[in-house]
Amino acid sequence: MPSKSDSILIVGAGVFGLSTALELKQRGYTNITVLDRYAPPAVDGSSVDISRIIRIDYVDPVYCQMAREAYQGWTSEYKDQYFESGFALLSETPKNDWIENSKATVLASGGTVEDLKDATQLLKLYPNIQSDLSGMNGYLNRRGGWADAAGSIQKLASRCSVEGVSILTGPRGSVVSLRKEGSRVVGVNVASGDSILASQVILSTGAWTNRLLNVAHAASSSGQPVGFIQLTPEEARSMEKTPVMINMTNGVFIFPPTPGSNILKIARHGYGYANKVTVQNDGTRTISSPKFETSNSQTGYLPDDADEDLRKGLQRFCPRFADRPWSFRRLCWYTNTPKGDFIIDHHPTMEGLFVATGGAGHGFKFLPVLGKYIADCFENKASKELRKKWRLEPVPSGSTGHPMKGDGSRAGPPLRNLTQVEKAML
């Protein structure tokens, strides 16, 4: 186990990196530096913007239990960032296996849900809902809702700073490669200036991980469409006290308008879009990754079919605003894994390197407890079962990657490679 005085570099100032930094500092590690291209909340990270779903609804009992633990943090330490609107999981088909299995896991863990054999029942519970729920079914979990993502990350970053964690951004925080001596990682090379050396390097680089390390067999990246619409205060008030709703048939989900800004957000939890690029680290490889040199949220570009699908989702969830112009759009970059499991492990062949990534589109909701789980793995204190679940397997010989279907909660069109024209628009 590393010494408490060892220098530790954490690459990535998202929910994985910052939660790890805070937890390790609180466990007595004295020399922790977090590196990132941008100051948290990073403008193009997956842990930012105005909202993220908070739910305890999982098929997998491990994540269901973790989510219940995180919920305690959201309703206490992060209560100012959390909005308990309720969470409705809906389907256009008579039976959705993921919904049924998730409900069973929640009930088995002591939770409660309200069956919606006819989703129009929601209109009685939430009169301000303006959705067309005809022909849909599912269930409502009142223990759930959404969190101010950027605000939560800002609070987490501030807590890190108060505890004495250094956060380095800009060219000195932009890690371009790992620095190695033989089979040991001894630091990182950055975009400007000398290498930064450390006893331990922790990669919490999300969708950018494959740029630094060949983990194509275990993780890949895809962009998921998100759209924002500016409402008037009166329009926003007309939708107050409505739940987060997700259509598990097509993956589209919608939030209540954000208080204060009156912004309506809609997105899709699906298979997304791959951005194929060639990188030289760890050998010449072709991977899917967001851009590195500039922000991925700057252009506000979405592929035409993604825009069309979000518009169809609006027509269902909020027909009143289905033709309202977007105030902003972007692709939110996920890290996909084969079963939707996180990757939290010491590298199997490189000493001095620990990997904490693979959020798989659901890592943020564990913000209050994620660092504890990562630090337990870092210190080899986690259970054998958990360490096996989150193990980083060695790269198989001749591996060209594996399907990254996730945990079965995604829906919508299959993964599609962006065309050259679309890539130029990013």
pLDDT of residue 401: 61
What's the burial of 55, exposed, middle or buried (CB within 10 Å: 0-12/13-18/19+)? buried
Please indicate, yes or no, if residue 26 is contained in any of the structural domains. Answer: yes
pLDDT at 67: 98
The boundaries of the domain holding residue 226 are 7-425
- The packing angle between helices 97-108 and 61-74, to 10°, is 70
Does residue 249 lie within any of the structural domains? yes
Report in angstroms the alpha-carbon separations of 235 from 33, 122, 151, 232, 361.
Answer: 44, 20, 24, 5, 30
Q: What is the pLDDT of residue 399?
A: 56
Distance CA 227, CA 319 (A): 15
So what's the pLDDT on residue 2?
A: 82
Q: Could you list the pLDDT tens digit for every one of the 426 residues in the chain? A: 789 999 999 999 999 999 999 999 999 999 999 999 999 999 999 988 999 999 999 999 999 999 999 999 999 999 999 999 999 999 999 989 999 999 999 999 999 999 999 999 999 999 999 999 999 999 999 999 999 999 999 999 999 999 999 999 999 999 999 999 999 999 999 999 999 999 999 999 999 999 999 999 999 999 999 999 999 999 999 999 999 999 999 999 999 999 999 999 999 999 999 999 999 887 899 999 999 999 999 999 999 999 999 999 999 999 999 999 999 999 999 999 999 999 999 999 999 999 999 999 999 999 999 999 999 999 999 999 999 999 999 888 765 567 788 999 999 999 999 999 999 999
Q: Give 318's contacts (C-beta < 8 A, 6+ positions apart).
A: 130, 131, 239, 254, 264, 266
Query: Within a domain: residue 27?
Result: yes
- Any domain includes 2: no
Task: State the pairing for strand pair 220-230/263-268.
Answer: antiparallel
Residue 158 lies in a domain: yes
* pLDDT at residue 396, as a whole number: 84
- Helix (H/G/I), strand (E/B), else coil: 269: coil
Domain count along the chain: 1
Report pLDDT for 397: 73
Residue reference for tokens 């194509």: 216
Specify the pLDDT at position 339.
Answer: 96
Q: Which letter does DSSP use for residue 296 in this model?
A: T
CATH of the domain at 213: 3.50.50.60
The four Cα atoms 184, 21, 58, 82 give a dihedral, to 10 degrees, of -160
Q: How far apart are CA 54 and CA 366, in angstroms?
A: 8
Is residue 97 one of the residues assigned to a domain?
yes
In a domain, 292, yes or no: yes
How far apart CA 39 and CA 43 sit, in angstroms, is: 8
Query: Cα–Cα distance between 335 and 354 in angstroms, integer?
Result: 17
Please check whether residue 1 lies inside any domain of the structure: no
CA 320 vs. chain centroid, Å, equals: 29
pLDDT, residue 283, reads 82
**Tokens coding 86:** 């309720």
Q: Give the burial class of 194: count Cβ atoms within 10 A of its Cβ; 0-12 exposed, 13-18 middle, 19 or more buried.
A: exposed
For position 201, what pLDDT does the model report? 98
Query: Would you state the pLDDT for residue 124?
Result: 97
- The Cα 46–Cα 68 span in angstroms is 22
Contact between 179 and 187 under an 8 Å Cβ cutoff? The reply is: yes
